[in-house]
Amino acid sequence: MIKGLHHIGIASKNIDKDINFFNLFGYKPKNMKIEDNKTGIFVQFMEAENQPDIELVQNIEKNGPMTEHLQSRRKIFHYAYITDNINNDMQNLINNGGGVILVPLSEDSNPDSTIKKWCYLIFRNMMIVELVELK
């Protein structure tokens, strides 16, 4: 069952500059910046009191997974929702919401992460949703 919002993913040209921007709204880095060579991105989670977490996502190479979002000036990349059964909720969203798997179910191997499994779905309205199952 989907439990609620986990974080908002934001496409970033420069994570360090975006950290400074989000500091204005009370956000602080939650952990160290992660380099994910498998997906070609840098990731920085940020948190602020009484606000949803955000995930800054930057390409490792000049052209990468965030290029389309950055070129279209769409900063919000996705909304991530917590689930207690990622397999069931993923299938339910595919069957009933018309979602298509964008990034298959993956296990998070980072020992500092609270995320156990995650996947991305894209819907007919072009909305991208990440499902996360916590450790």
* pLDDT tens per residue across span 47-71: 999 999 999 999 999 898 888 888 8
Q: Looking at the predicted structure, is the pLDDT value of residue 109 above 80?
A: no
* Domain extent for 37: 2-134
Q: What is the pLDDT of residue 69?
A: 82
Judge whether 76 and 125 are in contact, CB under 8 Å.
Answer: no
Identity of the residue numbered 18: D
Res 110: pLDDT: 78
Q: Would you state the structure tokens that stand for residue 68, as one six-digit string?
A: 């389309």
Q: How many domains does the chain have?
A: 1
Tell me: the pLDDT tens digits for 69-94? 888 888 898 999 999 999 999 999 99
Amino acid at 27: Y
Mean pLDDT across 11-40: 93
Whichever domain contains 13, its CATH number is 3.10.180.10
Range name among 5-19, 28-42, 94-108 with the lowest pLDDT average: 94-108
